[in-house]
Structure 1
Amino acid sequence: MAKKVVNHIKLGVFVSAGLCFLILLLYMIGKNENLFGSTFLLKARFEDVHGLVPGNSVRFSGIDAGTVKAITILDDGSLEVTMLIRKKMKRYIRKNAQANLGTDGLMGNKLINISPVKFAAQVVNEGDVIASGKSIDTETMMAVLDKTNQDVATIASGLKTTVQRINSSAAFWAILNDKTLPYNLRRSLNNARRTTDGTNNLVKELQLLITDVKSGKGSLGRLLRDSSFTIKLEEAVEKIKNIGNQADTLSGHINALVVSIDKDVNSGKGTANALLKDEGLVLKMNSSLNNIEKGTASFNQIMDALKQNFLLKGYFKKLERKKSSQLPSTSYKSD
């Protein structure tokens, strides 16, 4: 009887141990602890792990590569995540790879994605710390979505107000109900089309004109392309320049003469001053002119008296006949 009890106790212990081992095995498999494969340690540091816990998956380029072993707080702003990575993935992970936090689906468990970098680098070793990138957690995404929803609601409210105003606008509906509007629109479009055609024709004519000018055709083309005309134009410009220089020289002489006359007038010297300011000279000149006039009158009287003198009358008549005989021939020559 006692032996039977001992056997039952042994059987109970054996069954209990088997169940515990089975439960532990299932737990370890569920946590992806890689019990039956060789692994190596790899580390990454983050400012915030956003709910990542040991046992979460680690993926390399979307492929399951290991699990999270432990999370250690280094200081107030840094957390170190230790990862167990299968050794067969070691040759693919480089030291310049980057670890980023992600989720398994939209609302799934947190995980770590290791992304390769295209630049060449050495393969990671046991215990290496790879770089980490900033990740957007679900809360941040939800906050952004909430802000977006609010903006969409504001836009929808504005659109609703606009539609209501349009519906209540009598002027807008009057325009839409106007039967002449399609005709006017078609006429405007036709006018715009004709204007466009005219513009195209004008552009074509301008292109043709430019082509003719470039090829030397037409007056403008010959004007722009004729080298002899350019030479003549340069010669004309040079002559105009010479005339301008001569005009400047003449102007300088005239200015000098005017300055000299002004100086003589103001200084009281010279003929100009005497003519313009000397009253005595003016009186003398007037007296001389009067004497000349009187002498001319006396001379005319003497000539009239000589013409009446019987000794010289024949001489003067002969002169008059000679002059009268020469007048026709002179007029004929002038013709």
Structure 2
Amino acid sequence: MKTDNNSYKIKLGIFVTLGILILFIIIFFIGNNQNLFSTKFKVYTNFRNVSGLQVGGQVRFSGISVGTIENIQIVNDSTVNVMVMINKDVKKFIKKDSKASITSEGVIGDKILMISQGSSKTGEVKDGTTIQSFEPVEFTDILSSIKVSAENAEVITDELASMLIDINNGEGTLGALLNDEGVAKDLEKTLENLRKGSKGLEQNMEAAKNNFLLRGYFRKKEREKEKAKEEAEKEAKNKAEEEAGNKVK
């Protein structure tokens, strides 16, 4: 009986020890994930709307988790102050002109605070510095904009459809013009007159070339054209010979 009692106590002691060990391991992993065991410094930033940001959320710099959100406090009706705790080993990389913005972890993930890289010409932030921020774009605002665009597109489509129906029915000025056979015939006659005028102009130019008063002018133009062609061919030939000589060298 005494042996059974001792065995029970040993098993209980082992179970409690394992439980405490597992508890310490869990605390270590949680603390390491939340950066509880590293030296930190404070940074503040202000937003008009924190867009669902929560205390304990991640702070990232260049895509890497560097801290956590320590406190969110409403200052007034247009300002919300956010205090973050950042690991001190990244302090030298965060500049005075770095800016904070709120984004989502994935498409529909938790809200996180992102700190941008600043200019290398400015100094690093100090403990308790307030950095500037970008206001987050609300998903509802995007949906509202898309809705307005869709409604406008629907109105334009309806108006175009109505206009095309009126044109097909011969209604309105444009519909009357497009459906009027007289207008079509007049347009056809105008095009025919243009073709005849163009043909007549060509004939007049040929006659002018054969006129003894203008013959010298047209011959001069032809000689200039031939000369320009010869010079272009000569230049191309010289260029080809020059390139061939360079290849041989």
Question: TM-score interval w.r.t. the shorter chain?
Answer: 0.5 to 0.7
AA aligned to 1:9 is: L
> Are the equivalent residues in 2 in contact too, given 1:65–1:89 (CA < 8 A)?
no
Pair 1:163–1:38, CA change in 2 (3 A): farther
User: Does 1:174 pair with 2:172?
Assistant: no
SS of the equivalent of 1:124 reads: coil
Report the AA paired with residue 72 of structure 2.
Answer: T
Does residue 94 of structure 2 align to residue 73 of structure 1? Answer: no
C-alpha displacement of 1:53 = 0.9
**Could you say which structure has the larger radius of gyration?**
1
CA change 1:11–1:46 in 2 (3 A) is same
Does the Cα contact within 8 Å between 1:95 and 1:130 map onto a contact in 2?
yes
CA-CA distance at 1:108 after TM superposition: 3.1
Give deviations 1:260-292, integer Å, cap 9, x for gaps. Answer: xxxxxxxxxxxxxxxxxxxxxxxxxxxxxxxxx
TM-score, L = length of structure 1:
0.46
CA distance in 2, matches of 1:193, 1:98: 69
- Measured against aligned partners, the alpha-carbon deviations of 1:145-190 in whole angstroms (never above 9, x if no partner) come to 22222222222322332333334337466369x9758845755876
What percentage of aligned pairs have identical amino acids?
A: 20
Give the 3-state SS of the residue equivalent to 2:128 in structure 1. Answer: coil
For 1:1-335, what aligned pairs fall within 5 Å after superposition? 1-28=4-31, 32-35=33-36, 37-60=38-61, 62-77=62-77, 78-118=79-119, 120-169=121-170, 171=176, 174=179, 183=188, 186=191
SS of match in other structure, 2:68:
strand
- For the 8 Å contact 1:100–1:133, the answer to whether it is kept is yes
Runs of 5+ in structure 1 lacking a partner? 195-335
> Partners in 2 of 1:181 and 1:66 — Cα distance?
78
For 1:24 and 1:122, the matched residues in 2 are separated by 36
Distance 1:188 1:116 in 2: 71
User: How far did residue 81 of structure 1 move?
Assistant: 1.6
**RCO greater where, 1 or 2, for CA within 8 Å and sep 6 or more?**
2
Distance 1:8 1:97, change over 3 A: same
Give the CA deviation at 1:34.
2.7
- SS for the counterpart of 2:112 is strand
TM-score (structure 2 length as normaliser): 0.60
Structure ranking higher in helix proportion: 1
- Listed one character per residue, the Cα deviations across residues 71-106 of structure 1 (whole Å, up to 9, x for unaligned) are 232533332222232334322221222212223344
Does the CA contact (< 8 Å) of 1:73 and 1:79 recur in 2? yes
The alpha-carbon deviation at position 52 of structure 1 amounts to 0.3
Aligned length: 191
8 Å CA contact retained: 1:166, 1:172: no
Q: Which has the higher strand share?
A: 2
Question: What SS is found at the alignment partner of 1:50?
Answer: coil
Segments of structure 2 that go 5 or more residues without pairing to the other structure are 200-249
SS of equivalent residue, structure 1 residue 156:
helix
Distance change in 2, residues 1:21/1:153 (3 Å): farther
The CA RMSD measured in Å over matched residues stands at 3.7
